[in-house]
DNA sequence: TAAAATTAAATTGTATACAATTTAATTTTA
DNA sequence: TAAAATTAAATTGTATACAATTTAATTTTA
């Protein structure tokens, strides 16, 4: 096998699929005025209410260089608040505003719309998700 | 299942894995002074010698907004030439320079280095690649 | 065949990503 | 406990991505 052929690359399909999936999210997320990375931040906040920038970064594998401007954007949309922690002034805590919490109701339709847009069955998506998650966990470990 | 949990998202693991894999490529590709998207362009050119911007875009699922600056960068590194086609002046043909062709020899070590960096077996990588490629083909179709 | 439509790149503007550095705060250690 | 090391965000700079628009060339159609 010639590993310098695009056809045989393992990384390219992942890279391309990531962009294809994000493109499928785009028109759906426009309905709630979020980009895909912004949606991911909202997802983890809907789950946890309050998280530091670092904790969000750990969950999404993003650093402050990416998150700081993104969080400022969510703040300007009045979906979150950013406050320095009193216990540790280095830490910036992110909280949902009432509007941010309320957005969850609208967002509930997103996964179903996404599924329809993609045209994959639930079973296929779950299979994809689980196989990728195994690889992701493995490669995250190695990276440390 | 609550599809608004990060844990249950299908797209996030793909998005995260794509970035993890690209991060693994980074130190390896620095040895030949290429970014990952630049490496992909070189891969398709090593396979095809000459392609239009549009053809490269079709293979990599990238548009001219992404490719034009990237190709200008590869041109400034003297790896490729960009020339308007004589038959159709709208088309810009991309050719490898001697240096671009020669780089392939150095790049031959990249896939093996990548495999080692990742710590996955060939079998695991092939399985990942093939399962993702199936999904990618399906979702590309739907998008049209 | 001339106007309309289409096509290929390039450009413009916005939004990530991320390495490297900086800043300020906190923790560790000699 | 004061200096050194570490940590969390923010900042700076570079490199994608991609939608929307523009420009120039080509093709289609009335």
Q: Which domains does chain A have, with CATH numbers?
A: 1-30+109-144 (no CATH), 31-101 (1.10.10.10)
Q: What distance in Å separates the CA atoms of residue A43 and residue B78, rounded to the nearest whole number?
A: 45
Neighbours of A137 (CB within 10 A): 12
Contact B11 A3 (CB under 8 A): no
Please list the ranges in chain B whose pLDDT falls under 50: 143-144
Q: Residue A121: its chain B contacts at CB < 8 A?
A: none
Which residue is closest, via its CA, to the C1' of C16? A66
Would the Cβ of B54 be found within 7 angstroms of any atom in strand C?
yes
Residue-wise pLDDT tens digits, A43-63: 999 999 999 999 999 999 999
Distance of B21 CA from C23 C1′ (whole Å): 32
Q: Tell me the Cα Rg of chain A.
A: 18
Q: How many CB atoms lie within 10 A of CB A30?
A: 10
The maximal CA–CA distance of chain A, rounded, in angstroms, is 58
* Per-residue pLDDT tens over the stretch A68-121: 999 999 999 999 999 999 999 999 999 999 999 999 999 999 999 998 888 888
CA distance B6 to A144: 22
- Chain C positions with a protein C-beta closer than 7 Å: 7-13, 15-20, 24-27
Residue with tokens 């609208």, as numbered in its chain: A106
Listed by number, the residues of chain B in 45-84 with a beta carbon closer than 8 Å to a beta carbon of chain A are 46-47, 59-61
Show residues of chain A in contact with B102, CB under 8 Å: none
Cα gap A12→B71, rounded to integer Å: 18
> CB distance from B3 to chain A under 8 Å?
yes
Could you report the per-residue pLDDT of A19-44, keeping only the tens digit for each? 999 999 999 999 999 999 999 999 99
A66 contact partners, CB below 8 Å, separation of at least 6: A37
In angstroms, the CA of B138 and the C1' of C8 are apart by 27
Please state the φ and ψ torsions of residue A35, each to the nearest 5 degrees: -85, 170
């Amino acid at each position: 096998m010639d590993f310098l052929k695009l056809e045989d690359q393992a990384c390219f399909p992942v890279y391309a699929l990531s962009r294809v999936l994000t493109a499928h999210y785009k028109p759906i997320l426009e309905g709630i005025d979020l980009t895909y990375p912004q949606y991911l931040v909202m997802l983890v906040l809907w789950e946890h209410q309050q998280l530091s920038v670092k904790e969000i970064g750990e969950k999404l594998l993003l650093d402050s260089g990416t998150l700081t401007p993104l969080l400022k954007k969510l703040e300007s949309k009045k979906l979150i608040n950013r406050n320095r922690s009193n216990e540790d002034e280095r830490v910036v805590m992110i909280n949902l505003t009432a509007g941010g919490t309320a957005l969850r109701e609208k967002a509930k339709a997103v996964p179903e719309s996404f599924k329809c847009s993609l045209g994959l069955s639930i079973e296929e998506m779950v299979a994809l998700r689980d196989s990728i998650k195994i690889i992701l966990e493995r490669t995250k470990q190695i990276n440390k």
